Amino acid sequence: MKHTVSEITLSNGGKGLFVHIPGASVMTFDINFRAGEFLVEPNKWEVPHLMEHVVLGANQLIPRARDFQAELERNGAYSNASTSVYDITYEAECADFEWDRVFDLLLTAITKPLFLDEEFKAEYGNVQEEMASRANNHFRRLSLEMRKQLGLLVKTDAERLKIMHNVTVDDVRMHYIKTHTAKNMRFVLAGDLTTKRKQHIKDVMEMIELPTMGRRYKLPREQLKSLDKATYIRNKTVENLYFYLDTFMKRRLSDQEADALNLVNTMLTETLYSNILGTARERGLVYGMNSGLSQTRDVSNWWFGAQVSDKNAPALMNIIYSELKKVMEGKIDKSDIEATKQYSLGRFQRSAQTVGGTSAGYTGRYFFDEVIEDYYNIPSRIAAINKETIVDVSRAMFAENIWAFGVLGGCGREFSDQLREQIAPLWGGFFNN
């Protein structure tokens, strides 16, 4: 969608983006606080998550959570919140005709929560159910266990369930006071933001009833260590095995490097004709496979994962090894690069068809490090990707020899270690020989 972006710095220290989409029939609101689990003691890990559940509930305007949700959603509006190790983000989406009503309700919830004992107890039970449900997600369980062993800031769902009893409603109240300040607030609002509407929103947010003391907390530093054997989680009830492969670099990628790595990642796994997944499916080895990039303050990560039968797993590892080796040796067809560029361009254009999709193009990066993506320059960035950058960044992701391989299933530790050994030479620097 055609749009313009402006950054607003409020007099109270908050900052955010106005994404103006002329004629849009929908508005979205994303309000972020650096308030995740890294700010609490390890035995109080669930404080931010429980706080997030209670904030969008009873408040000074509507003192019952169910009534508040009914009022906010009565014309089809949507609201939610999410918690990560780093942040809590509150979000809402509504029809343009009621944007001011929904916006006021969202701000009321964020600034005037009651933290009632009875609602805390109810949400405590809901969070327990959520954690138990998540624990049944085999990919999530394996990923969390691997990241814990790597030294990243994380707790498994089982650990979180065991220590939830340490959290009281007073802990939640104190964490709210500590983190929900104007200076710690970032926001991205998107829709038909006329000049008059922008000024009204700016005036409202400068008068927001949050303390002006406080600060935007810095992201934590995380120390990585490589794992010298496979992470193995035994689960004999799983017919196939689940695996993850992670490789790390101890710095953040530049935009040019991230563009190149995203492109080669697409080339390897993201379509049914991609080099790894396409080859594996052609041989009847695996139904699906995922991969992707992630970054923290000081670390970049490239990961691959799939569910595969024990008998097909060695053949799949061979394909992964072979295709990654080709990339690092520069054995990439120019035609594959150009075809993947076209695919990436089309995917980018599809992602911006809605107000929410357009807004999402800004929220992740802005909330992370306050960088405003040059949205209209992305097609040019895709076009500028070349083979040399692809090879260089792919090699760099393996050069520091920080990696992990994990398996969940009933195949046994010995078999898991054998699969790990099949791909271990990728970190041997063979491309320099």
What is the band of 417 on the pLDDT scale with cuts at 50, 70, 90?
very high
In a domain, 101, yes or no: yes
Domain match, 70 and 125 both: yes
* Per-residue pLDDT tens over the stretch 69-111: 999 999 999 999 999 999 999 999 999 999 999 999 999 999 9
Token pair of 111, please?
Answer: 């600034």
Residue pair 156/45 in contact by the 8 Å Cβ criterion: no
Tell whether 160 and 253 lie within a shared domain.
no
Same domain, 236 and 196: no
In a domain, residue 212? The reply is: no
On whether both 162 and 258 belong to a single domain, the answer is no
Q: What number of CA atoms fall less than 13 Å from residue 85's CA on the CB side?
A: 18
**Residues 275, 381: one domain?**
yes
Please tell me the total count of domains within the chain. Answer: 2
Asked whether residue 428 is domain-assigned, the answer is yes
Residue 108 lies in a domain: yes
Question: Is the domain of 250 the same as that of 145?
Answer: no
Say what the pLDDT of residue 428 is.
Answer: 75
| Same-domain check for residues 134 and 259 | no
Residue 217 lies in a domain: no
268 in any annotated domain:
yes
pLDDT at position 351 over 90: no
Last residue of a domain, one of 206, 239, 270: 206
Give the tens place of pLDDT for each residue, 102-130.
Answer: 999 999 999 999 999 999 999 999 999 99
Do 192 and 237 belong together in one domain? no
Q: Is the pLDDT of residue 310 over 90?
A: yes
Structural domain harbouring 8: 4-206
Average pLDDT, the chain: 95
What pLDDT band is residue 433 in, cutting at 50, 70 and 90?
Answer: very low
252 plus 344 within the same structural domain: yes
Choose the final residue of a domain: 172, 206, 240. 206
Q: Clarify whether residues 195 and 243 are in a common domain.
A: no
Asked if residue 224 belongs to a domain, the reply is no
Find residue 188's DSSP bridge partners.
Answer: 17, 30
Same domain, 338 and 387: yes
Closest residue by Cα to residue 291 from 330, 258, 262, 249: 262
Instruction: Give yes or no: residues 114 and 168 share one domain.
Output: yes
Distance CA 145, CA 59 (A): 37
pLDDT (0 to 100) of residue 397: 97
The residue among 206, 223, 248 that closes a domain is 206
* Domain-located, residue 264: yes
CATH of the domain at 124: 3.30.830.10
Q: What is this structure's pTM?
A: 0.93
Integer Cα distance of 214 and 46 in angstroms? 22
